[in-house]
Amino acid sequence: MHYSRGIAAIVAALPATQALNSSIWVDQVPNYVRPYAIPHYSATGLVIGQQIYRFPVTGPSSDNAFTLISTNAPGSTSLGVLPHLHEVHYENFFNFRGRFQLWTEKDGDEETRILTQGDYGGVPHNTTHTFQILDPDTEMVGVIQPGGFESIIFASADFERDLFYALASANYSSPTFSPYDPSAVADDSSPPASVIASLQQFDVYAELDYTPRTDAVNGAAPANSTWHTGANALATNDSTPYFVAKDYGPKYLSTENGYQVIQPFVTPVQSAGNFSLSTITMDKLSNVTASEQNFAGHAAFEVLEGQLMVSMEGELLSLLQGDVVFIPGNTTYTYYSLVAYTKVLHIAQGAEGLDTTLIAGATSWDSPVWPTS
Ligand X SMILES: *[C@@H]1O[C@H](CO)[C@@H](O)[C@H](O)[C@H]1NC(C)=O
| Contact string 281-320 vs ligand X (x = CB under 6 A) | -----xx--------x-x----------------------
- 125 flagged as catalytic: no
Segment lying near ligand X (by CB under 6 A), choices 2-10, 154-162, 163-171, 316-324 = 163-171
Q: Which of 89, 105, 111, 129 is catalytic?
A: 129
C-alpha distances (whole Å) from 127 to each of 85, 90, 192, 227, 239 are 5, 9, 20, 20, 8
Binding mask 132-161 for ligand X (x = CB under 6 A): -------------x-xx-------------
Out of 6, 13, 152, 170, name the contact with ligand X by CB under 6 A: 170
Which residues make Cβ contacts (< 8 Å) with residue 227, sequence separation at least 6?
A: 113, 218, 219, 220, 243, 245
The distance of closest approach from Cβ of residue 98 to ligand X in the complex, given in angstroms and rounded to an integer, is: 26
From 144, 168, 261, 362, residue interacting with ligand X (rule: CB under 6 A)? 168
Minimum CB distance to ligand X, residue 85 (Å): 8
Binding region for ligand X (CB under 6 A) out of 91-99, 168-176, 194-202, 244-252: 168-176
Closest to ligand X by CB, 194 vs 224, is 224
Residue 298 bears catalytic tag:
no
Binding region for ligand X (CB under 6 A) out of 48-56, 130-138, 165-173, 302-310: 165-173
- Interface stretch with ligand X, choices 111-119, 155-163, 236-244, 306-314 (CB under 6 A): 236-244
**Among all residues, which ones are annotated catalytic?**
84, 86, 91, 129
Q: Which residues bind ligand X (CB under 6 A)?
A: 20-21, 87, 90, 125-126, 145, 147-148, 165, 168, 170-171, 222, 224, 236-240, 271-272, 274, 286-287, 296, 298, 328-330
